[in-house]
Structure 1
């Protein structure tokens, strides 16, 4: 594990204020596990410092109190942030005071340290209460026996959370963080720029294709037989259109002052390639069809038509598809076949389209 990261656990007093004062005067008499120590007091609270082990990359785990998903942050970046930081969940966008983002394992470690302190505080109270009390006094019908034993804290639980696989850098604040799924937010800045989300989504689609190809032969054969590969390729086609729709809509609304007026009554206009290009041209921007060239634009048109066919007609070729893709050799009523090569080519073309859309922005 990497260097420990100091965390503070402020527990509410469980004894009287007088005992609390004695506690702080005699704190050296308490045995604390390695990684935990009393460092002072604040009002009626005890201030305890508990180290949180980092992973091998120097990252600190965070867990959203709303969706319970884990992400990680570069500990050096995290320490440099203000104490009153409001942290964002990278997945669901929930934001709250950063101490609310303790992981389950970190919380267990902190509570163990607090519990050890509490046990010793109670033991000291009992020692004082029974001090000088005679045992088995004559005339008493009850005999009280109390034996004080030294307390030895157990080692604090370690931290063994999911290791990170890819480090992200926020384009705004440049903080480093790691995620374990699709995300839309920087833990410090909040909502990520639309272009970051788009290109990340394209990388995810590429990674999914690569993961399928990397499966063992027997598993691949089983998935292929059950249609898993075909379903994945169709999903990729549908997802590519969604990526462009979200990016184009965000960029257009940010760049065009009267965007709402221009979009009123046009429905899901950013799902339609030529209509999207026409919108930007009407707003004074370059024509995407010219920027990308006729060959790329034609292939994109085929991808969009394929997506529409599977979304609305289960992939069965209709006249609308043949009108949009006049070069297709498919026949009316035939079910279209999507392949890995088609997906990879569509990914490359869609990435080029996203780059062209970003280049339109002022």
Structure 2
């Protein structure tokens, strides 16, 4: 499936039968479909979220009529955050949701997209006309879709696929977001470790690729080490972004924002002092030295073609190399740093979740 591809409306039919005081919907397609329900008060015109009841029951308030909001044909509802304006999709049709980008928590009505709002407006006008004229109306969404080349009718708004589809490990809700990191719209749980862990698994798979020519193996192992450190830094920055949401003085927030995970020991010291998050806890001194050397190796591999400079020697006290020597990465080194950063990354995320 292509990212940013337009996903059509799920289709179906809406039937409005004033004589039976009935408004219903049906969809018999073989693709995914989902619906959530709002209620329009005929007393004051307000719109509220209304959960579906069990079979044969209704939760619609007295004096209100149902508004059915449909998913796209993949079963997702598009959402637009009222705080950061970020767009995402989710199969959650709950009353309150989180923005996966900025963690804003609000009523689902606040997350309606512009096209969904236009749909609700025309839906309400159509229902009120049917009630006033006491005439039955059937809105064939499938027919509208079939006869529109540009999907321009407000009755059949489309959505847009984003870049990463997630299934929350906690509540099993699915969501589709821009980029990699985000929180579940339903329960607010971060996907940070899941993304990081998947990246490390892909790197391990690269190390086990025996089809590489022998002369290219060392450069491949060096690239794996570079990517492993970069993935850890990206994951840690995402957690740091969440830590900045915790109330603190301006000076403390400024200090938190300046944390550099390239200097992993200093970053751990700061988080231990301010949040009691010690993600290097239980790591031996030998392994801490190894991690620090790998982080500095990543730097010279990226910025100095792998040639040892004064800064590398100063930051690592590595007596096994010489100034201006070109370093090489062994397979065992790459495997070891992956395993160590998987462990430290889990401790960092567990530490954040213990205070959030």
Normalised to the residue count of structure 2, the TM-score between the two structures is 0.53
RMSD: 6.1
1:240 corresponds to 2:232: yes
In 2 relative to 1, CA 55–348 (structure 1 residues): closer, same or farther, beyond 3 Å?
farther
In 2 relative to 1, CA 329–48 (structure 1 residues): closer, same or farther, beyond 3 Å?
same
In 2 relative to 1, CA 288–210 (structure 1 residues): closer, same or farther, beyond 3 Å?
closer
| 1:291 positional shift | 2.0
Q: What is the aligned partner in structure 1 of residue 299 from structure 2?
A: 308
1:183 corresponds to 2:177: no
| 1:184 positional shift | 3.5
Q: What is the aligned partner in structure 2 of residue 61 from structure 1?
A: 77
Q: What is the aligned partner in structure 2 of residue 16 from structure 1?
A: none
Q: After superposition, where does 1:21-40 map in structure 2 within 5 Å?
A: 26-28=18-20, 34=26
1:72 corresponds to 2:72: no
For the pair shown, the structure with the greater C-alpha radius of gyration is 1
| Partners of 1:167 and 1:176 within 8 A in 2 | yes
| Partners of 2:244 and 2:256 within 8 A in 1 | no
In 2 relative to 1, CA 260–352 (structure 1 residues): closer, same or farther, beyond 3 Å?
farther
**In the TM superposition, what whole-angstrom CA distance separates every residue of 1:329-354 from its partner, at most 9, and x where no partner exists?**
66544555568865553232112224
Q: What is the aligned partner in structure 2 of residue 349 from structure 1?
A: 340
Normalised to the residue count of structure 1, the TM-score between the two structures is 0.52
Q: What is the aligned partner in structure 2 of residue 167 from structure 1?
A: 167
Q: Pick the structure with more helix per residue.
A: 1
Consecutive unaligned residues of structure 2, counting only runs of 5 or more, are: 1-13, 28-34, 46-63, 146-155
| Partners of 1:71 and 1:178 within 8 A in 2 | yes
Consecutive unaligned residues of structure 1, counting only runs of 5 or more, are: 1-8, 10-22, 128-149
Looking at structure 1, the residues matched to 76 and 207 of structure 2 have their Cα atoms a distance apart, in angstroms, of 33
| 1:199 positional shift | 2.2
Q: What is the aligned partner in structure 2 of residue 154 from structure 1?
A: 140
Of 94, 100, 123 in structure 2, the residue corresponding to residue 90 of structure 1 is 100
| 1:71 positional shift | 3.0
Q: What is the aligned partner in structure 1 of residue 49 from structure 2?
A: none
Aligned residues: 291
Q: After superposition, where does 1:120-135 map in structure 2 within 5 Å?
A: none
| Partners of 2:280 and 2:344 within 8 A in 1 | no
1:199 corresponds to 2:193: yes
| 1:178 positional shift | 3.3
In 2 relative to 1, CA 96–337 (structure 1 residues): closer, same or farther, beyond 3 Å?
farther
- 3-state DSSP of counterpart to 1:292: coil
Q: After superposition, where does 1:111-126 map in structure 2 within 5 Å?
A: 117=127
| 1:42 positional shift | 1.8
Of 278, 294, 302 in structure 1, the residue corresponding to residue 285 of structure 2 is 294
Q: What is the aligned partner in structure 2 of residue 49 from structure 1?
A: 67
